[in-house]
Amino acid sequence: MQTDSSFTFVLFGGTGDLSMRKILPALYEAHRAGGMLAESGRIVAVARHAEDRDGYLQWVNENVKSHVSKNGLDEAAWASFLKRIDYVKLDLGKPEDFALLRDAVSGLPGIRVFYLATGPSLFVPICRALASVGLNENARIVLEKPLGYDLKSSNAINDAVGEIFAEEQIYRIDHYLGKEPVQNLLALRFGNALFEPLWRREWVESIQITIAEELGVEARGDFYDNTGALRDMVQNHLLQLLSIVAMEPPHSMDSDSVRDEKLRVLRALKPVDERDIGKVAVRGQYHAGGIRGTPVPGYATEPGVKKDSTTETFVALKVEIENWRWAGVPFFLRTGKRLADRVAEIVVNFRPVPHSALGSPALRPGANRLVIRLQPNETIRLYCLAKQPGEGMNLASVHLDLAFDQFFREGQMEAYQRLLLDVINGRLALFVRRDEQEAAWRWVEPILNEWSSANRPPKPYAAGTWGPAASSAMLAQHGTCWLEEEN
């Protein structure tokens, strides 16, 4: 992916955790690859912790290097990357300080990208301050999640930002959409005659989408206790992945064609009746347990968390899509912290053959399955049955495997790297449009409202397990189970 696009990339929250772990490493990898970033492109970090550029570069050296390059750091590339970086010491609480930023970027070339790696409460003040000094022209704004606390607050942010930036200038980022297997899911479905005829209710029995974390809330207790797993993961990441899996073929891969089809899926989600939430939604919170033999504390004893907190750290949902392609097919969504493993995957369970002359093993659910692994390793694996060598017709499950790091030796990009290049080059397809976001909030709100009004604590689960037993029971009612339970 070569580019001649000049740019000035302004990074708000330039000393924050996200900048250190993801954004600057992604920009470094693009720089190191050569040709992905225009030679004239500059990075301007904005923060108030470092006094000057030298102090900021020292901070970057200490906090970014450990997060870059699986193949080791290229010192020459690193040194030349640091030459791209400028720094502006700025107090976001003082709009008058933005004149310093205007002066710093006024002579720099190309499109201006403002990346807001800050809390959502700062989105509107930053945008207004940028407009006050004329920096909202020839610009793109990148908004990190969470964008609001509910539909009302999300609309308030979008309304205010929309007064300053046009919709085509706004890039609402969801890094799961930049992952290679998600892109390959589109290629598999719409580039191959093999899958598309099977991608419908007649041949798909159920679909599972899981994003599981071994980590707890770490140092984010204050934030997480006011957010919870439904807002933090379901409203954005999981529903976006669901819309990619279930969307109709777009007429092209341009940004609005893709996002129009995702929106149709989100609008076709079967509304959740508050009386049925107990049947289709499981809410959990981790207690003390162990991760790979190491004891870990319960959620309520984590720093920043209220001792009597009822915030959920686990959610499992049964979702239905009311359209011709998917009517009657259950989609099971699951996310949680302090689970048994770190994994993100999409599991498509195809229906068993209607009759088998080969015996009952050919009828088992796992015989025909597509597993798209997003992390920790990125693979696509198709399971089917084959005859075991030897006498008799004995069947065994085998798989066809696409491991990206083995098949494609070069050219792999992390999700943030791809998405940041898309922002610089003006490609919107992998970013969330406002109407998509509104549809997602509208669907989750009945669950949020019921959980906030009901006087019921989340179901407990021990850290290091796969969540509350009610999650497995919900799938058992439909004659299936989570993938790891079958194995």
DSSP 236: I
pLDDT tens-place string over residues 251-302: 988 889 999 999 999 999 999 998 899 999 999 999 999 998 899 999 999 9
Q: Closest by alpha carbon to 465, among 243, 296, 277? A: 296
Tell me the mean pLDDT in the region 136-145: 93
Tell me whether residue 181 is exposed, middle or buried, using C-beta atoms within 10 angstroms of its C-beta: 0 to 12, 13 to 18, 19 or more: buried
How many Å apart are CA 434 and CA 167, to the nearest integer? Answer: 8
Tell me the mean pLDDT in the region 58-76: 86
CB atoms within 10 A of CB 192: 9
pLDDT (0 to 100) of residue 2: 47
**How many percent of the chain have pLDDT more than 70?**
94
Active site residue 67: no
| 179 annotated ligand-binding residue | yes
- CB distance 343 to 212 below 8 Å: yes
pLDDT (0 to 100) of residue 111: 95
Tell me the mean pLDDT in the region 42-69: 91
How many Å apart are CA 337 and CA 315, to the nearest integer? Answer: 10
User: How many residues in total does the chain contain?
Assistant: 487
Domains and CATH numbers, the chain: 7-144 (3.40.50.720), 177-486 (3.30.360.10)
Q: Closest by alpha carbon to 190, among 252, 241, 243, 268? A: 252
Tell me whether residue 295 is exposed, middle or buried, using C-beta atoms within 10 angstroms of its C-beta: 0 to 12, 13 to 18, 19 or more: exposed
How many Å apart are CA 412 and CA 404, to the nearest integer? Answer: 8
| 54 annotated ligand-binding residue | no
| 92 annotated ligand-binding residue | yes
Most confident of 245-249, 359-363, 387-391: 245-249
Q: What angle do CA 227, 232, 238 make, to 5 degrees?
A: 150
How many Å apart are CA 84 and CA 40, to the nearest integer? Answer: 8
CB atoms within 10 A of CB 382: 19
| 145 annotated ligand-binding residue | yes
Q: Which of 31, 49, 67, 237 is labelled catalytic?
A: 237
| 91 annotated ligand-binding residue | yes
Mean pLDDT of the residues in the chain: 90
| 213 annotated ligand-binding residue | yes
| 232 annotated ligand-binding residue | yes
Q: Transcribe 343-395 into DSSP letters.
A: EEEEEEEEPPPS--TT-GGGGSGGGSEEEEEEESS-EEEEEEEEEPSSSS--E
Confidence of residue 206 (pLDDT cuts 50, 70, 90): very high
- CB distance 307 to 315 below 8 Å: no
Tell me the mean pLDDT in the region 195-223: 92
Cis peptide bond N-terminal to 376, omega within 30: yes
| 48 annotated ligand-binding residue | yes
pLDDT (0 to 100) of residue 366: 60
* pLDDT(1) > 50: no
| 400 annotated ligand-binding residue | no
